[in-house]
Amino acid sequence: MSLPVAVLSALFGGAAAAFLPRVTHRLSVPRGSPPRAVCATCQTSFSTWVSVGAPCRCAPPPVWTIATGALVTGLLGATVGPTPLLAVLLPAAVLGILLAAVDLRCLRLPNPLVAVLAAVTVVPLGLSALLIGEPDRLARAGLAALLTGLVYLLVALLPGAGLGLGDVKLAAVLCFTLGFAGWPAVAIGLLTPHLINGPIALTLLLTRRAKRRTALPLGPALLIGALVALVTT
């Protein structure tokens, strides 16, 4: 483990996460609705998308968001080390935190955010594999993304599956990245989300805080699964 890399990565993640609360607040709206133009609490108009700290003056400091950003990127820096892959994973991790926050609030993974995540991972990883002469690695990543996308799409089309197309797209993008680490990483990344959401769903059912058809956000679990896979393989 490289301590300086881990510390610098954590500083990057914490600093970048400080810019997420307002974006999260504005995007956390029902499907089909435009981004929020005013604060949901005090009705103050938002003049910009970018603001450091709380989304509005009426909100508390985003301590947990900043801490999460620092923790996630610090873990990646400590395990991946000073490699070109880390330069791809750090901004992807910040985008992942934004996606998870929006999904937790409104059960939605906005297509533009998933597309940006794909752009900052698939494009540089694909180009790097070609430049360093590792087409097999690129083929494995593409196959992992394709198979994952197809399986998740089939599940999403089942009646009452509770799986959205945003989950399908996110899973495919994440598995492209995991495919570069190898099939064990793909397996861990696909299994872990269900080990996370399964007990949560069971607990909610047993405590009668949810019904069988109650939708649960899968995006955060998919992102945690990808992180677990990357830091353990």
CB burial of residue 147 (10 Å; 0-12, 13-18, 19+): middle
pLDDT digits (tens, 9 = 90+) for 103-152: 999 989 999 999 999 999 999 999 988 888 888 889 999 999 999 999 99
Give percent of the chain above pLDDT 90. Answer: 61
The residue with greater pLDDT, 200 or 51, is: 51
Q: Which segment of 31-40, 51-60, 200-209, 215-224 scores lowest on mean pLDDT?
A: 200-209
The residue among 212 and 88 whose pLDDT is bigger is 88
Mean pLDDT, residues 218-231 taken together: 94
Per-residue CA distances from 23 to 20, 49, 113, 125, 182 (Å): 5, 6, 11, 27, 33
- Whether residue 168 has pLDDT greater than 70: yes
The predicted model gives 86-94 an average pLDDT of 95
Would the pLDDT of 1 be above 80?
Answer: no
- Once rounded to an integer, what is the mean pLDDT over residues 8-16? 96
Can you tell me which residue has the tokens 């609705």? 33
